[in-house]
Chain A
Amino acid sequence: MAGVTIKHLYKRYGKDKHAVVQDFQLEIQDKEFIVFVGPSGCGKSTTLRMIAGLEDISEGEIYIGDQLVNKLPPKDRDISMVFQNYALYPNLSVYENIAFGLRMRKLPKHEIDLAVKNASRILEIEPYLNRKPKELSGGQRQRVALGRAIVRDPKLFLMDEPLSNLDAKLRVTMRMEITKLHKKLGTTFIFVTHDQVEAMTMADRIVVMKGGVIQQCDTPELIYSKPANTFVASFIGSPQINFIQGRVQENPQGKLEFHTNRFVLKINEATEDILRTNNQVNKSVILGIRPENVKLEGLFSETIITGTYIDNELMGADRFLYLDIGQEKPLIARVDPDNRFSDNEKVKVELDVSKAHFFHKDTGVRFAE
């Protein structure tokens, strides 16, 4: 069991030495479940591969436990990795696939047998031990890949988008199984995904990345409720957070208001303090509000705005309304599925400004307390 410390990690490629991972710094606690999440090409897999030793480090240091592993080959790092395409040896049976790592470490036969049986019992793949990988379904293959990872009892588990090749239903099942496995094994897990749902549901802490740079590293709750910037706010949450461009202005009573070209919103006291502290009065800002905080007309008339109905998406339990409010993108409201509207109908919605975030217009950084 071990934590991982990453200090000023860089990865540069090509002649122009373009950095795909830049100044990556992270302290992962022992037994923690960390998820790297971000869009394609954000450097999350490259970082994972550097931790695994499959990719050279251009600059920086990686420690597994107290040991500096920069120059250590993958086999000496005491890690296990699960790949997106399972990476099962097609010529070997399930049993041999799981036993491969133990055989390489020249363990006695009875110990290998015991470990393989134990791992296959945990993952419920005992009936398939004599089959070849091609005779298994996607879910079963993923379990074998997990079996191969857990059988060696490593210090660290690395998972590179292991659920991406599974169908939606199986993905949910495997998601829960991996979480269960983490609790049972009590080992440090580093999980890479581009799926924010996986990140939110599995992680102890999420590392959101973009362009090789960590945008935010926090618990799922904080990532969702206190996003560091517009990127994190838009990447986490489905449907996406609404961004409204506007200007903070002081009214004759000395209260702050959020002005757009179509409407004015009253800003609550707590947020007012934040904006004043950050010196944003009479400046353009971006207001971010999640669709669940946009409701059909409610109690507070100061935060009610009118939009024009464009479209809707029925999700079963909810309906997402798309309303034109004169912004670049339509405002999305999460409403009860029984509400129906016709095209171009005027719809009044109330914005829960106490749950809204304000971001810097140029840098996209959230104004925090």
Chain B
Amino acid sequence: MLALSVIMILPIIYIFNHAFKPYHELFIYPPKFFVQEPNIQNFVELFWVTSNSIVPVSRYLFNSLFISAASVIGVTIVSALCAYPLSKHPFPGRKWIFATIILMLMFTPEVIQIPRYLVVSNLGIMNTYWGHLLPVLALPVAVFLLKQFVDQIPDSLLEASRIDGANELTVFVRIVIPMCMPAIATVAILAFQNSWGNVETSMLFMQDDEMKNFPFFLSTLTNNLANNVARQGAAAVAALIMLVPNLIFFVILQSKVISTMAHSGIK
């Protein structure tokens, strides 16, 4: 297990080291794992090089952070609002709806790209933050996870609160949500990862460069260049920037996630 965890952590250490390598170290052969002469030249390059361009990197970063934050909030609310009635309110067709959601887990993103484009286009939300947000709001895995969690809340708890005088919204907000916090933390991480690394919405729905996000910018940094040496330092830093928020988000919420694993029997 220890050996495996070392192997798992190596790429993360490599990304950290890579970002601080000067140019000659980036292309040294054989490549070195650890940085020899760390400096922040690559960071300067990333922000300085792009500060002169039409859209500065900070704009891409802002877009990404804003979209990710909005998607975390949005996905959590939408998934919880979907999971609660599916779990605790028997209504006709409930099983079919849940089965459809589970089926959606099996779709690859490519399958739904064209329908998604049509929906976004017809709604007239191209080149808006809604265009980034709406396609990622429905996250089947989040609904599945939350439903499994809500299933475990005893019905008597909800009944007790109804007898106590709570309406459905109060039951949901005061009882169901606090009891699902571990699952919500996990869903938040999933939603963040899903949105933070997503280039699809920028590529398909955003023609305006100002509305594109950071992962898209990262993909353009090294692609389409005449040589593959230029901006490799900036790309190394950008890779680190892509990783760090995920890492921070996970570290903050990790205790809750472990609790989800324990609850859902994944452990």
Residues of chain A having any CB pair with chain B under 8 Å: 52-54, 73-75, 79-81, 83-85, 87, 89-91, 100-101, 104-105, 148, 152
Chain A interface mostly? loop
Number of residues of chain B lying within 8 A (CB) of chain A? 17
10 tightest CB-CB pairs across the interface, nearest first?
A104-B165, A101-B164, A91-B178, A87-B160, A87-B156, A83-B156, A75-B165, A74-B163, A87-B157, A74-B162
Contact of A79 with B164 in the complex, beta carbons under 8 Å: no
Task: Identify which of B160, B166, B174 contacts A83 (C-beta below 8 A).
Answer: B160
Q: How far is the CA of A258 from the CA of B206 in the complex (A)?
A: 97
Beta-carbon contact of A90 and B156 below 8 Å? no
Give chain B nearest CB distance to A80 CB in angstroms. 7
- Distance in angstroms from A83 CB to nearest chain B CB is 4
- A87 lies within 8 A of B159 (CB): yes
Assess whether B166 is in contact with A84, with CB atoms less than 8 Å apart.
no
Cα separation A273 to B167 with both chains bound (whole Å): 61
Contact B163 A84 (CB under 8 A): no
Q: How far, in angstroms, from A74 to B158 measured CA to CA in the complex?
A: 12
What are 10 A-B pairs at a CB distance below 8 A? A54-B162, A74-B162, A75-B163, A80-B163, A87-B160, A89-B174, A101-B165, A104-B165, A105-B165, A152-B164
Partner of B156 from the list A53, A84, A100, A148 (CB cut-off 8 Å) is A84
Total A-B Cβ pairs within 8 A: 55
Binding site for A on B (CB under 8 A): 154, 156-157, 159-167, 170, 174-175, 178-179
Q: Are B159 and A104 in contact (CB under 8 A)?
A: no
Query: Bound complex: CA of A104 vs CA of B154, how far in Å?
Result: 21
Q: Which B residues are CB-close (under 8 A) to A79?
A: 163
Alpha-carbon distance A90/B153, docked complex (angstroms): 10
Residues from chain B with a CB closer than 8 A to the CB of A52 are 159, 163
Q: Is B162 a contact partner of A75 (Cβ separation < 8 A)?
A: yes
> Is the beta-carbon distance between B159 and A54 smaller than 8 angstroms?
yes
| In contact, B163 and A81 (Cβ under 8 angstroms) | yes
**Is B160's CB under 8 angstroms from A81's CB?**
yes
Across the interface, name the chain A residue whose C-beta is closest to B159: A54
Min CB distance, B175 to chain A, in Å? 6
Residue of A nearest to B160 (CB): A87
Asked whether B166 lies within 8 Å of A104 as measured between CB atoms, the reply is yes
Which chain A positions have C-beta within 8 A of B161?
Answer: 89, 100
In contact, A74 and B154 (Cβ under 8 angstroms): no
* Nearest CB of B to A252, in Å: 65
| CB pair B159 A74 closer than 8 Å | yes
Give the CA-CA distance A100 to B154 in the complex, in Å.
18
> Do A75 and B157 have beta carbons less than 8 Å apart?
no
Q: For B157, what are the chain A residues with a Cβ–Cβ distance below 8 Å? A: 87, 89
- A104 and B170: CB pair below 8 A? yes
Please, which residue of chain B has its CB at the minimum distance from the CB of A79?
B163
Q: Could you tell me the distance between the alpha carbons of A83 and B163 in the complex, rounded to whole angstroms?
A: 11
- Measured CB to CB, the nearest residue on chain B to A96 is B174
Q: Tell me the bound Cα distance from A105 to B186 in angstroms.
A: 34
In chain B, what residue has the closest Cβ to A160?
B156
User: What residue of chain B has the Cβ atom nearest to residue A80's Cβ?
Assistant: B163
The docked-state distance in angstroms from the alpha carbon of A87 to that of B167 is 17
Q: Which residues of A contact B159 (CB under 8 A)?
A: 52, 54, 74, 81, 83, 87
Q: Is the CB of A87 within 8 A of B154?
A: yes
Shortest C-beta distance, A155 to chain B (Å), equals 13
In the bound complex, residues from chain A placing their C-beta under 8 Å from that of B179 are: 90-91
How far does the alpha carbon of A81 sit from the alpha carbon of B163 in the complex, in Å?
7
Given A75-B164, A90-B179, 14 more A-B residue pairs with CB atoms under 8 Å apart are A54-B159, A75-B165, A75-B166, A81-B163, A87-B157, A87-B159, A89-B161, A89-B175, A91-B179, A101-B163, A101-B164, A104-B165, A148-B160, A148-B164
CA distance A209 to B175 in the complex (A): 34
Determine how close the nearest CB of chain A comes to the CB of B177; give it in whole angstroms.
9
- Could you tell me the distance in whole angstroms from the C-beta of B86 to the nearest C-beta in chain A? 20
Chain B residues with CB below 8 A from A87, complex form? 154, 156-157, 159-160
A83 to B156, CA, bound (A): 7
Most chain A CB atoms below 10 A, which of B162, B163, B170, B178: B163
A152 to B161, CA, bound (A): 13
Q: A90 contacts which chain B residues (CB < 8 A)? A: 179
Residues of A within 8 A of B165 (CB): 75, 101, 104-105
Q: With A89-B175, A90-B179, A91-B178 known to touch, is A104 a contact of B164 (CB < 8 Å)?
A: yes
Smallest Cβ distance from A208 to chain B, in angstroms? 25
Which partner residue on chain A sits nearest B157 by CB separation? A87
Residues of B contacting A91 in the complex (Cβ-Cβ under 8 angstroms): 175, 178-179
Return chain B residues, CB-CB under 8 Å to A53.
163
Using Cβ atoms and an 8 Å threshold, which residues of chain A touch B170? 104
Of all chain A residues, the one with the shortest Cβ separation from B170 is: A104
The chain A residue with its CB closest to the CB of B154 is A85
- B contact residues around A73 at 8 Å (CB): 162
Q: Say how far B90's CB is from chain A's closest CB, in angstroms.
A: 12
* Residue numbers in B under 8 Å from A101 (CB-CB): 163-165
Q: Which residues of A contact B164 (CB under 8 A)?
A: 75, 100-101, 104, 148, 152
**Chain B residues with CB under 8 A of A104:** 164-166, 170
Q: Give, as a whole number of angstroms, the nearest-CB distance from A338 to chain B.
A: 48
C-alpha gap A89/B166 in the complex (Å):
13
A100, chain B: closest CB distance, angstroms: 5
Separation in Å of the A154 CB from the closest CB of chain B?
9
B154, B161, B164, B166 interface centre (most CB from chain A within 10 Å):
B164
Complex CA gap A75/B167 in Å reads 9
- Report the Cα distance A105→B166, complex, angstroms: 9
Bound form: Cα–Cα A216–B162 in Å:
32
For the complex, give the distance between the alpha carbons of A85 and B159 in Å. Answer: 12
* CA–CA, A154 and B164, complex, Å: 10
Which residue of the partner chain B has the closest CB to A101?
B164
